[in-house]
Amino acid sequence: MKLGLVIDLDTCVGCHACATACKQWNTSGTIGPLSDQDPYGKDPNGSWLNRIRTFEVKEPEPLPTKGQGCGSQKFDLHALATEGTSALLSDASPASKTVHMPMSCMQCEDADCVTVCPTGASYKREEDGIVLVDQDKCMGCNLCSWACPYGARELDEEQGVMKKCTLCVDRIYDQALPESERQPACVLSCPTSSRVFGDFDDPTSKVSQLVVERNGQPLMPELGYKPTNQYLPPRNKEAVAMMAKTNEPALSKLKKWANRVIAR
Count of the separate structural domains present in the chain: 1
Average pLDDT, the chain: 78
Residue 2 has pLDDT above 70, yes or no: yes
Residue 16's CATH number: 3.30.70.20
The end-to-end CA distance of the chain, in Å, is: 50
The answer to whether 4 touches 205, Cβ cutoff 8 Å, is no
Which helix (H) or strand (E) is 257 found in, with range?
Answer: helix 248-263
| Pairing between β-strand 51-58 and β-strand 131-133 as defined by DSSP bridges | unpaired
Determine, yes or no, domain membership for 29.
yes
Determine, yes or no, domain membership for 142.
no
Q: Which of 225, 223, 195, 222 lies closest to 210 in space, CA to CA? A: 195
Determine, yes or no, domain membership for 157.
no
Residue 28 has pLDDT above 60, yes or no: no
The pLDDT tens digits for 15-24 are: 999 988 888 8
The answer to whether 154 touches 162, Cβ cutoff 8 Å, is yes
Provide the percentage of residues in the chain whose pLDDT is more than 90: 41
pLDDT of residue 208: 95
The answer to whether 122 touches 133, Cβ cutoff 8 Å, is yes
Least confident of 25-29, 45-49, 113-117: 25-29
Structural domain containing residue 99: 3-104+176-263
Determine, yes or no, domain membership for 21.
yes
The answer to whether 3 touches 167, Cβ cutoff 8 Å, is yes
pTM of the model: 0.73
Which helix (H) or strand (E) is 246 found in, with range?
Answer: helix 237-246
Determine, yes or no, domain membership for 135.
no
Determine, yes or no, domain membership for 132.
no
- What values do phi and psi take at 196, rounded to 5? -130, 135
Determine, yes or no, domain membership for 153.
no
pLDDT band at 170 (very low <50, low <70, confident <90, very high): confident
Alpha-carbon dihedral of residues 207, 210, 215, 221, nearest 10 degrees? -10
Helix (H) and strand (E) counts for the chain? 10, 9
DSSP state at residue 113: H
Mean per-residue pLDDT, 137-149: 92
The pLDDT tens digits for 108-132 are: 999 999 999 999 999 999 999 999 9
Determine, yes or no, domain membership for 200.
yes
